[in-house]
Amino acid sequence: MMDLGEVGLEVAIKILDPRLTDWGFPRWGSALAAGLDLHACLDEPAILAPQGPPVLIPAGFALSIRDPGWCAMIYPRSGLGHRDGLVLGNTVGVIDADYEGPLMISAWNRNPPGSTSLTVRPGERIAQAVFTRVVRPALRVVEAFPQSGVGARGAGGFGSTGRG
């Protein structure tokens, strides 16, 4: 089991690819890191063409959260995204509390056509999982919102507050 401190959550992890333990999984990159490092569990390097189709890369494990007040979110690693153009094909992956199948990372090369392809190597840390609380509010359907100063922004539409 992972030690997640004093949050009251214990997450079971089933290792599907034994190489993960050689690569140091499970671990956070530092004592204060929010994201659990995810490795590319590939048998051979994957080549991602610029603006090509996303590639599903196995993370090599499954997890069991089972608490509806929690989920895991999969994010790209900052340096790979900014410096190299490796991002997630679905921008952010959500792992619901009731999903217990293998974790897959949707990797995509956001670089413009004509630039260099990206190579993802077996064992490379390419993404991170962040565990976060989930709030499911009671939803109430209404015909109109009550008049107040709070909703005045909505009349301007998307992006109406401008830049700066």
| 163 vs 141, higher pLDDT | 141
More confident call, 115 vs 156: 115
Whole-number pLDDT of residue 2: 45
Distance (Å, whole) CA 121 – CA 156: 47
Domains defined along the chain, listed by start: 12-133 (2.70.40.10)
pLDDT of residue 82: 86
What average pLDDT does the structure give for the chain?
90
pLDDT computed for residue 152 by the predictor: 60
Average pLDDT over residues 97-124: 95
Distance between CA atoms of 7 and 34, rounded to whole angstroms?
13
Comparing 78 with 152, the larger pLDDT belongs to 78
Burial class (CB in 10 A: 0-12, 13-18, 19+), 65: buried
pLDDT at residue 151, rounded to an integer: 56
**What mean pLDDT comes out for the span 115-124?**
95
Average pLDDT for 1-20: 80
What are the backbone dihedrals phi and psi of residue 134, each rounded to the nearest 5 degrees, phi first?
Answer: -120, 135
Residue 79 pLDDT greater than 50, yes or no: yes
For the residues 16-25, what does the mean pLDDT come to? 96
Condensed to tens digits (0 to 9), the pLDDT of residues 37-70 reads: 999 999 999 999 999 999 999 999 999 999 999 9
